[in-house]
Amino acid sequence: MMRWWIVVGAVNAFLSVGAGAFGAHALKSRLPQDLQVIFETGARYHMYHALALVAVGLFGTVRPSALLESAGWAMLAGIVLFSGSLYALALSGVRVLGAITPLGGLGFLAGWALFAVAAWRSAP
């Protein structure tokens, strides 16, 4: 299962680069500056957590644990909810979508906390 997190992280990193390029080039002349910043924030956090998923998978190949699995799922949920809601808000202009964003942030926080506990418990 840990190899799966490496693949999911790599796919999300790919998607994040694509989203960043799309935001920087295709949306630059089409979106107001405030929505461009929102889109860019989504892409940035998407990449951070894509790399974190790769780290979960790599760490899990050495010290697999249920906590790491949970960390991966929490981070993936965070990507979908946080970055996804920011992408949708920026592209649609529907501000109420921003209400979903903090749920993704909670997913990120939970993922990092679980990762930290898993690392702490794995020490010999």
What percentage of the chain has pLDDT greater than the value 70?
100
Write the CB contacts of 25 (distance below 8 Å, at least 6 apart in sequence). Answer: none
- Of 28, 44, 47, residue with least CA distance to 36: 28
Residue 96 confidence (pLDDT): 95
Distances (CA, A) of 55 to 59, 69, 100, 109: 6, 12, 26, 16
Contact 18/39 with Cβ under 8 angstroms?
Answer: no
Distance CA 113, CA 92 (A): 32
When pLDDT is averaged across residues 119-123 and rounded to a whole number, the result is 89
Evaluate if pTM is beyond 0.85: yes
Tell me the pLDDT band of 26, cut-offs 50, 70 and 90.
very high
State the amino acid at position 63 in one-letter form.
Answer: R
Structure tokens at 116: 């930290």
pLDDT-derived band at 56 (thresholds 50, 70, 90) equals very high
Average pLDDT over residues 30-53: 96
Place of tokens 């993704």: 104
Mean pLDDT of the chain: 95
Do residues 63 and 115 touch, judged by C-beta distance below 8 A?
no
pLDDT at 29: 87
- pLDDT tens for residues 68-108? 999 999 999 999 999 999 999 999 999 999 999 999 999 99
The residue-averaged pLDDT of 45-52 equals 98
Confidence at residue 28, expressed as pLDDT on a 0 to 100 scale: 86
